[in-house]
Each structure stands twice: as C-alpha cells, then as structure tokens.
Structure 1
Amino acid sequence: MSCTLRRTKIIATIGPASAHPRIIREMILSGMDIARVNLSHGSATWHEETVQQIRTLADELNREIGILVDIPGPKLRVLTGSPPRDVIAGDIIHIAGEHMNSPGSVLVTPPDCIPPVCPGDMVLIGDGAVTLQILKPGPPMRTTVLSGGTIREGMGVVIPGRRPDIPYASPRFGEYIRRGAAFRPDYIALSFVGSAADIRDARILLAKQGMADIPIIAKIECRRAVEGLADIIRDADGIMVARGDLGVEIPLEEVPNIQKLIITSCSQQGKPVITATEMLESMVSRGRPTRAEVTDVANAIVDGTDATMLSAETSVGKHPDQAVMMMARIATETEKHLPYL
C-alpha cells in the first residue's frame, strides 16, 4: 500500500512477534512510518540488532522509516523470571522488592520505585487485569485481591496517585538515556513525565551524549502530567496520549475527554501528537479488529491526531503486518472525509 497520500503517520512497536526481517519488511510495505523500540523489554544487544535490521530493510526498500526509542520511567514491573501466578478475589498477596527475602511474595523491580503507600490504596497489575487493595504498607506490602486473574512477569504494577520518592532523572534513567542515544534514534519518548522540568533534565542528559537536538516525545500517562499539560507541551517536541497507564492512573471514563483535550491543546500549540494503546487490541489474537476499534482510530484522526501507534498488536500479536495494513486503511479512508486545506 502506498503511504504517499496518507497524512496520519503509523508507529509500530517492534517486539518478539515482529523482529524477524521478513515481518519488518511486510510492516514497512504495509504502511509503518516509524518503528518503536521499547527499552522496558529486551536486552541491549537485541535492541541494537533490531534497530540495525530496520535501517537495513528501510534502505533496501528505499523508505524513510523513523526510529522511536521509548525510555522507561519510574514504573514498577513484576520481576522477569517470575512464574505465572493465578489469584482469585479474597487471596492475600505480598509484594516485595526484587532483592527482599520474602518467600511467596510477588517480586517487583526496580525496588526504589515502590512509592510510599497507605492502607486502602489500590494496586493495579497488568493495566488493571488484577486489582489489589493494600492492607498493610510493609515491607513487604500486604494486599488482598479484589479482582483476580494471572500475574505474569513483566506486567506493570501501578498504585494510582502515588509516586516513588526518587528524582525523575535518576542514575538508572541516565543509563537508559545513554543506551537509547547510542542508537542515534530519530525520536526519544519519555515515560511517566510529570512536569516540564523532567523534559529539561532529559535534554541535559541527551546533550552529554551529543544529542541535544533530538526531538523529545513526552508521554502523558498520569494525573500530574495532565495537570501540567500546557507547560509539558511547551517544552516537549511532541506528545503521546499513552492511554494504557493513563487509564490506570485515572478513572477510565475520564480518558476520552483527556485525550481530546491533549489533541486540541497540541494543535493549538503546533506540536505533533500521537494517540496510543489498544487502538486495534483485538488484533493481538485476531486477524480483524472490532468495529469499535476502527471507530476509535478514525475518531482520533478526525480530532486531529498526527500519528496512531500500535503496541501489543505488533510487538507480541499474531498479525503484526495485518495490523499495520488495517491502521493504514482506516487512516486513508478517514482522511478522504476531512477538509484539509
């Protein structure tokens, strides 16, 4: 499918399902404009090899494919290597830092990102797939299961309204910046930005790597970022409506209006905006999206988003190239009915 007539850019996340050269080639031909590499998952060697593959294939196909490196923020995840754990409502679950001697606990990393908590606080694992309530702050944190499911390695662990007592530009963050800058990407995305100061701190670190001018995309995924939106838009080079964690940090019913607010605010300030997360989620396992998903993508384009992003659909889904092709088809058709000047 030709991308020349499509204005809305398509960002596709590269992961285990799409890192093979044949799949990357099909995604480029299907309409991928920017490849996202998420440093939250995978090794440094895997990231380096993947970026090189994308660039090699883009050259072979004579396509301009941007590289977006996603830098992890201060977010907890279930420790890699943890066995799957099924829990049901009423179970008592302990949560502990990865190095804590706490047999039977769900171990999380990095431990310094465990925020101060209070009894009654909620804990959402895997974007809310499992919901817990804190009974005792600990350590270890003692919780009860409100909504059961399976806890798996790598799942995000969010305590809405609570922030870790560490600076955004921590030594760990600086190391991720160094790793990301080594790939000489076209864009850097910053996770869990809380204020414009976080963006300025990141620019200082990038300048030390000789990349002071690289465009920074600020991901809006917490209440604090929404409250400081105007300043963040001013200091960032672009904005991502990161609906996954945003829909965990704030009530789900608020997300649609916040998305519209972000898109409108970016348009007013002349900053590009990306709409992301679960846009074609059913295509993780199916070859065809739901009608609601198609409408979601179209509505974001009508509202003025500059790009739409595929996450699990292309990183771990069964049909990565088909997901890109479907996104391109939706965008192309929607744009036919927009009054571009």
Structure 2
Amino acid sequence: MDRTTTTRPAASPATGPWDHASCEALIAELQVLRESMIEHEARLAPRLAAVDASFRDSAINLAHYLALRRYDLRRVQERLAAIGLSSLGRAETHVLANLDQVLGILRRLVGQEGRAPTRPEPTGLSQGARLLARHTEALLGAAPAERSARIMVTLPGEAAHDDALVAALVAAGMDIARINCAHDDAAAWVEMAARVRHHARQCGRPVRVLMDLGGPKLRTGALRPGPAVVHLKPLRDALGRVVQPARLGLRAGAGTAGIAGAEITLAVEGDWLELLDAGDRVELVDTRGRHRRLRVAERRSGGVLLECRRSLWLGDTTEIRRAGDPHGARLQALPHTPGALLLHRGTRLALLPEREGHPADPAAALPAIGCTLAQALAQVRKGDRVWFDDGHLGGVVRRGGTRKVEVEITHAREGGQKLGADKGINLPDTELDLPALTAQDLSDLPTVAAHADLVGLSFTQSAADVQALRAALAALPGPSPALMLKVETRRGFEALPEILLAAMAGPAAGVMIARGDLAVECGFERLAEVQEEILWACEAAHLPVVWATQVLEGLAKTGQPSRAEITDAAMAGRAECVMLNKGPYVVEAIRTLDDILRRMQAHQDKKRPLLRALKAWA
C-alpha cells in the first residue's frame, strides 16, 4: 500500500515518517531509552527489594517511569504520532510494556525479526490498571456504583454531637470522612468516628475514616488582643435608608445568655436596668465621641432589647443613661477584638520564637509576631522568602537569627494588610530539618490507630518521615491503619519518588495533593504542572491520589459555585478520590461533586479521553 497517497503533499522517501531510515532511527533511540529503564531499575534494586510483595511490580514500573521522564521526548512523540503509533504519553501504568509494543511495531515496519523482550515486563496495560484499582480499594474501600472516584469530606467540630449532619453527609455520598486532628480533641475525634460508622451502617454503605495528624505546622503566634470594643450598625437599602435598626441586648451582671433578636448582648453594672420600660429613650457617647440615642424596644426576662438607627461603637468605658437622668451604668465584659498587625510594603516585621507579638510602638521599633516552631527560625537565612496566611502576605528575610528574624514585607495589598494570630507561615526557600511527627502527633497516635482506617501524615518531606510513622504505628497494639501521605511542601514534591517507594513498603498507602500549602511553596503559577506531575508519578506507582483543597469551596461555603471551580472539580475526577472541605452547604457540594464525577467518568480516564456517543449533536 502506498502510504504517501494522501490528501496532503506526499513526503519524500528520504524524509517521510514511514521510510526505513526514519523508523530505524526511532528504533535506535527507543532501544537506548529501554536500556536506561533497565539500568535505572538495577540501580534502585535495594529499594525495590524492600517494598511489600503487593507493590513489587508497581515499584519496578515506577523505576521505569522515572527513567523515561529524565528525557525530553517531545520530538520522538511527534515522530511516533506521525506514523500512527503510541506516543508514550499515556503509558504511566505500563511503561516498559508500552515501549516494547511500539518497538515491536516499528521492527515489523522495517522487516526486522520480531524480538521477544529481554526480560519479563512488570505490567501490561490491563494489569497496570488492575493493580491501581486493587491498591485503591485496599486504601479507600469499594467504589460506589457508577462512580470510580471516591468523595472525602472534612468533618466540622459539630459532627461530634450533630447526628443529623453526619447522617446527611453519609446519605449524600461521602465515602471517606476526614477528621483533622489539628482541631478539637481526642474525645471529639472518637465521637465523630463513631457517628460516621453508625450512620454508614444505617445507610448500608461503607464509609472509611481518615484522621490527619497535626504535624509540624508553622503558624503565627499569639498577639496582644485589641481593644474591648463592639461596632453595631443598622441595615440600609440601596439608597442608604434604614430598613432595620441596630439591635443591642443588655443584661444585668455577668449573664452570658443572649437577648432574642439582638446582634450582641452585653452586661451592665448594678440594677440600672430595673429603671427602664419599653419605649424609654437612653443615650450614650460612643468611643468616637459621637452622641447616640437608643430606644427600649422590649423588656425581656432578665434584660432589655435596644434599637438605634445610627451606627455606634461601644467600649468598656462607655456609660449608658436614661434620657434626662444624671447617672447611668457602665457597660461590662465587652469582648476584645482579635489582635492584628497592619503591614505595608516596605514594613520590617520581627518574627519571634514562641513569644507574644505586638504592633510597632516607641518601645519596640518593629512590629513583631511570634512563630509556633522556634527551631524553624534558627534555619532561616537572609534572602529566604516568607509567606503568611496562605500566600496573601509575603516578604523576604533581611536579617536572620535564633532570637529574632527580620522580614521586609514585599507583597501586600495597597493600603496595607492585616496579619493575625494562628495564620500559616511558609518558607519555600528554607531547608527545614523538622520531623514530620511531632510530640503531639505521637501522643495522638494511639487514639488515631484505634479509631481510624487511615492516618494522614502532614508535611511528608522524605522517606524517613514515612518510615518513622510506620515504626510508631508498629509499636502500638492491634492492626495499623493505612497511610495517607500529604505532599504540601516543595521539598516533599522533590522527594516524591523516594516517598512513594517508602510508602510501598507496607500493604496500603496513598498520596494527598494538599494544594493549599503546595501552591504557596511552589508558586501559584507552577501549581498546575506540579499537581499533574504528582498524578502521573502516583499512577506509575499504582498508588491512589486524593485531590484536595478548595474543591467546590464557593459552593460549600456560600451555596453558589464559581464556573472555575466546576471545571476544577471535573479535572479532579482523574484522581482516585476528591476532598471537600467543611461549610454550611457541604451536603449540596457532595451532591454536585457526585453528579460531576459520574458525568465525567464517561469522558475521561486519567489522561485518556473516552469517546462516548455525543447525543447533543446527533
């Protein structure tokens, strides 16, 4: 058959993709590639021998994939595609078998004798897919009908006592319940797990429990609290007209129960409230020096409800009196506003080891904030970048030290940006030598091992971190839970191959792409390619992946998704599991994600598009 007879200009025999010379050149290049795979497998032999028997073929396939991806194969892919052959772009689960298949076809095209592989291939196309499915089921449980990707949901603290909430999550389609051990306490975690298992039995569907260890999370420390002040304002329409007055509840003494209908309820000293009747007018001077008059709307049991049609700021020095009376009562027990630093570009900020922070004042030239991990500050160097609060605020270290690190703010909103306590700190340029298991994690581990199906290792950065967790679990009585390794730092991403091999030393493990910290560490611009590379490497290792952070976050929090997050949720279906965070509309988010994943399953399998019939254009 004359292959050059097409609707396009015929390629010359010397340069066409089908000629002997071109095919023989490809054979030579692919043979070199094959030999490098075998050599890389031999170099990794001691590590491959250490993996669990169930992962032996998977580990070898990962070694071949790592060798394959050391080369720039884009030109080779173009030449293979021009002949109509596999371009090696979807070979993750069966790397050597795919390469040998292409080599076999090329050899037949040029009339060479078909040569059998020089050694058995670890996995073929169907076997690789079966191994990934088997390892996924071992970790995450059986997939629901018509949806292969599982849905994981982070439980809020109220799940420890709210049966209706947990029942709704299970009924909506939650396959794995995630409990974040950085919050609440062991008693609450046990309650959450028990309620999940109870309602899973009631619904007749399996739901597994993941408990995430807190890990060495670097956060800002405490700040001096702000002033004790409350701001109230009326509700206005688009024309600025008051449609609902500001409502303040008052109680005598230190009672904490709220007055129905009030935005906030405060205490007043003495028995002054006994003087007030419905319809009375009271007055005060607020913290700005503004005179305000309020009306007693109702007397309630133990207090009164006041209304004001203007905004007012109340402090612990504010005195309130009945109109015309010379004496009144002082407001009591106002809540302090959270402390915060207002930082501008060019501001110098002092990071202190585990000490209370403070704004700039004459006694302290620099505003300062504490750091929860003092040992991390000792490893920071001049020129290292520092990001705060999920990357919203950033700077560069200008002076290092064990007692204080000075950071110049280089990334902040115009007009300044506030930084409060308990906000994340990321040091993408700093090689932090911190164990993934903290003393608190080791204290929590017996509870986690006794009540969870999976244990999450936060901030996994090396094979040693994985080995430390396995050793700690092995020292506990009873069977060990499976491992979920969270990749959320640049160092963890760069060490991913050794982390995967360490994960395969046990019977069940998976990887979570924690995109929040990962985006800050690697750069938001690079997150797209980083998450893809993690997906590919884990597929080559036949290890399941959890796609996490901000999936349908707008929907879960506000009830309204953005267009971009719908697309993100569709892309997430290439992972074995997709994680939703908590929010008031999380049940609706589960149903929406379930629908998206079922639809996309007919169109996409990992990197491979599926061509089902399109009814819209029939």
Normalized against structure 1, the TM-score is what?
Answer: 0.88
What is the CA deviation profile of residues 114-149 of structure 1, one whole-angstrom value per residue up to 9, with x for unaligned ones? 451123322212211222332322423222333153
- Does the 8 Å contact 2:449/2:480 carry over to 1? no
The corresponding residue for 2:66 is none
Could you tell me which residue of structure 2 aligns to residue 249 of structure 1? 521
Aligned-pair Cα RMSD in Å? 2.5
Shift of 1:37: 0.6
Equivalence map 1:19-168=2 (5 Å):
20-79=162-221, 83-90=338-345, 91-98=347-354, 100=355, 103-104=358-359, 105-114=368-377, 116-138=379-401, 139-146=403-410, 147=412, 148-168=416-436
Supply the AA of the counterpart residue of 1:28. Answer: V
Structure 1 residue 337 displacement after superposition: 2.1
3-state SS of the aligned residue for 2:407? strand
Give % identity: 28
Distance 1:116 1:281, change over 3 A: same
* More displaced stretch, 49-58 vs 326-335: 49-58
3-state SS of paired residue (2:370) = strand
Using CA pairs under 8 Å that are at least 6 residues apart, name the structure with larger relative contact order, 1 or 2. Answer: 1
* Distance (Å, rounded) in 1 between the aligned partners of 2:518 and 2:440: 23
Does residue 1:192 correspond to 2:334, yes or no? no
Amino acid across the alignment from 2:560: R
Question: Is this contact kept in 1: 2:513–2:545, CA < 8 A?
Answer: yes
Q: 1:45 to 1:249 in 2, by over 3 A?
A: same
Identify if the C-alpha distance between structure 1 residues 214 and 223 changes in structure 2 by more than 3 Å, giving closer, same or farther: same
- Alignment check: 8 A CA contact 2:538 2:545 kept: yes
Matching residue of 2:40: none
Q: 2:378, 2:532 → 1: CA distance?
A: 30
Please tell me the residue identity of whatever aligns with 2:578.
Answer: T
1:39 and 1:321 map into 2 onto residues whose CA distance is: 22
Q: 1:278 aligns with which of 511, 533, 550?
A: 550
Instruction: Tell me if the contact between 1:203 and 1:212 (Cα under 8 Å) persists in the aligned partners.
Output: no
Q: Does 1:334 align with 2:600?
A: yes
Partner of 2:578: 308
Question: How many angstroms does 1:299 deviate by?
Answer: 1.6
CA distance in 2, matches of 1:106, 1:213: 40
1:226-245 → structure 2 map (5 Å cutoff):
226-236=493-503, 237-245=509-517
Report the TM-score, using the length of structure 2 for normalisation: 0.50
- Cα pair distance change 1:52/1:110, threshold 3 Å: farther
Match of 1:8 in 2: 149
Distance 2:383 2:491 in 1: 21
Shift in Å, 1:243: 0.8
Alpha-carbon distance in structure 2 between the residues aligned to 1:137 and 1:306: 43
**What are the Cα deviations for residues 216-275 of structure 1, in whole angstroms up to 9, with x where unaligned?**
111111222222212212222111111111111112122111211111221222111111
For 1:97, give the aligned amino acid: P
- In 1, distance between residues paired with 2:422 and 2:158? 16
* SS of residue matched to 2:215: coil
Deviates more, 1:68-77 or 1:43-52: 43-52
What corresponds to 2:449 in structure 1? 181
Report deviation, 1:31: 1.1
Q: CA deviation at 1:38?
A: 0.9
> Residue 379 of structure 2 aligns to a residue in which SS?
coil
Given that residues 160 and 250 in structure 1 are in contact (C-alpha distance below 8 angstroms), is that contact kept between their aligned partners in structure 2? yes
Counterpart residue number, 1:293? 565
Contact 2:215–2:438 at 8 Å: present in 1 too?
no
Distance across 2 between alignment mates of 1:323 and 1:134: 41
Q: Name whichever of 27-36 and 170-179 sits farther off.
A: 170-179
Matched position secondary structure for 1:116: coil
Q: Give the deviation of 1:297 after TM superposition.
A: 1.7
Aligned to 2:476: 209
Task: Encode CA deviations 1:162-192: one digit per residue, 9 max, x unaligned.
Answer: 2444433443442233342242x11111111
| Distance across 2 between alignment mates of 1:101 and 1:79 | 6
Quick one: distance in 2 between partners of 1:328 and 1:258? 25
Aligned residues: 331
CA distance in 1, matches of 2:188, 2:222: 16
Residue 223 (1) aligns with residue 490 (2): yes
Contact (CA 8 Å) 1:195, 1:228: kept in 2 or not?
yes
Counterpart residue type for residue 319 of structure 1: Y
Secondary structure of 2:219's aligned partner: strand
Q: 1:212 to 1:168 in 2, by over 3 A?
A: farther
Query: Mean alpha-carbon deviation: is it higher for 324-333 or for 49-58?
Result: 49-58
1:273-325 alpha-carbon deviations (Å, 9 max, x no partner)? 11111121222532121111111121232xx31001112xx1xx231211211
Kindly name which structure, 1 or 2, has the bigger radius of gyration based on alpha carbons.
2
Distance 1:285 1:16 in 2: 16
Q: Distance in 2 between matches of 1:271 and 1:288?
A: 33
Structure 2: distance between partners of 1:307 and 1:80? 36
Give secondary structure in 2 for the equivalent of 1:76. coil
Change in Cα spacing, 1:117 to 1:333, as seen in structure 2 (3 Å) is same
Distance 2:453 2:432 in 1: 30
How far is the alpha carbon of 1:101 from its aligned partner?
6.3
Gaps in structure 1 of 5+ consecutive residues: none
Deviation at 1:26, TM superposition (A): 1.3
Q: Is the 8 A contact 1:217 1:239 kept in 2?
A: yes
Deviation of the 1:8 alpha carbon: 0.7
- Give a deviation string over 1:187-211, Cα, whole Å, max 9, x none: 1111111111211110000011135
